[in-house]
Amino acid sequence: MKRLQWPSWIPIDPYILLLLGTVGVAALLPARGTASDVASGASTAAIAFLFFLYGARLSTREALDGLRHWRLHVTVLACTFVIFPLLGIAARFLVPVLLTQPLYQGLLFLTLVPSTIQSSIAFTSIARGNVPAAICAGSFSSLVGIVLTPLLAAALLGGSGGGFSTHSLVTIVLQLLVPFLAGQVLRRWIGTFVARHRKVLGLVDRGSILLVVYTAFSEGMVRGIWHQVSPVRLAGLLAVEAVLLGVMLVLTWYGAKALRFGREDRIAIQFAGSKKSLASGLPMASVLFGAHASLAVLPLMLFHQMQLMVCAVIAKRRAREVREEVTPAAPAAASRTVVGTGTRSR
């Protein structure tokens, strides 16, 4: 039986359509009362299991080997947890001209989230970049983000986020870091099983995130939070995020060049240093923002789709540049071969 393929001419990631569909279901059929309690409990368990799988997948040996390329990883971490947040802080002057205060809080939270793993690896591979470096950079960013993102959020957002407190930070540790470490400890026994069933468990990953989205947006609907967002504000948010992504793509590419990284490393730095993880950000937002999580994750969801579309184009362009550099050399080599052959025949 032939496997169905997502049409390549459709520029939207099918998973984004599932996320938007989940938001639609939450808008029409939000969980209330007992159903809300059940969905919240299931979401908490799903998040813990999600980070348990992250821990079980990450090879400790690969992580330690990757430390030898420490300059690249420090650069990516600096882009993710220093430059991004500084740009988020600078966007404060856009309130209330372009953004409302809740949307700005979501934008600022977006800048604090760790980098992606899967898409960074995929785009780095397409662009002929340093794939092992992208794997380690994304993994290190996710691991550091479990601790650093809530700490930065507590420092920069304070009590305005709706749920920042010592209790929230403890919840993050128990719900995210402890399961991750448990996965690392048990990897010795379950690592092979996890690798063998990567596709099936990948569906569990994505299903967990959909459940988190449904729970967050349901609570937002019940509390009437979505009445705060107008089409004009939404357009303003998209414009701000487009500028944010553009700035980071330029800084990571030319900044890596200024730091004397090679082309393959620059590609890994650009794709790992300019992205934000929806998979890590959504669970953290649900814990840190509570009832306000739906508005907090809206900027992240929009940025996630934007980065996928833009980086797909850039990755193909980088690959084409490599082909164009190699192709002209081929006729010259062939010419030298012909001349040499003719000389020998004489």
Residue 252: which CATH number?
1.20.1530.20
In a domain, residue 2? The reply is no
In a domain, 337, yes or no: no
Could you tell me the two tokens for 253?
């590419």
Domain carrying residue 314: 38-321
43, part of any domain: yes
Indicate if the alpha-carbon torsion angle 58, 63, 65, 70 is positive or negative: positive
Q: Which residue has the higher pLDDT, 303 or 119?
A: 303
User: Exposure string (b/e) for 316-337, b if CB count within 10 Å is 16 or more?
Assistant: eebbeeeeeeeeeeeeeeeeee
Q: What is the mean pLDDT of the chain?
A: 81
Least confident of 56-65, 163-172, 279-288: 163-172
Q: Which of residues 30 and 242 earns the better pLDDT score?
A: 242
* Counted domains in the chain: 1
pLDDT confidence band for 346 (50 / 70 / 90):
very low
Residue 12 falls inside a structural domain: no
Q: Is the predicted pLDDT of residue 344 greater than 50, yes or no?
A: no
| Full DSSP string of 120-156 | HHHHHHHTT--HHHHHHHHHHHHHHHHHHHHHHHHHH
Residue 341 has pLDDT above 90, yes or no: no
Taking each helix axis from N to C terminus, what angle separates 293-326 and 263-273, rounded to the nearest 10 degrees?
160
The number of beta carbons lying within 10 Å of the beta carbon of residue 312 is 16
Three-state DSSP at 230 gives coil
CA distance 189 to 205: 20
The answer to whether position 31 is within a domain reads no
The residues near 311 (Cβ < 8 Å, ≥ 6 apart) are: 119, 123, 249, 271, 274, 275
Give the pLDDT confidence score for residue 135 in this predicted structure. Answer: 79
Query: What does the chain come to in residues?
Result: 346
Chain-centroid distance, C-alpha 41: 25
- CA-based nearest residue to 60, from 199, 183, 195, 145: 183
Confidence band of 275 (pLDDT split at 50, 70, 90): very high
pLDDT band with cut points at 50, 70 and 90 for residue 247: very high
Residue 77 resides in a domain: yes
The verdict on residue 200 lying in a domain is yes
pTM (two decimals): 0.77
| CA–CA distance, 164 with 171 (Å, rounded to integer) | 11
Residue 33, domain member (yes or no): no
Would you state the pLDDT for residue 207?
Answer: 83
pLDDT tier for residue 45 given thresholds of 50, 70 and 90: confident
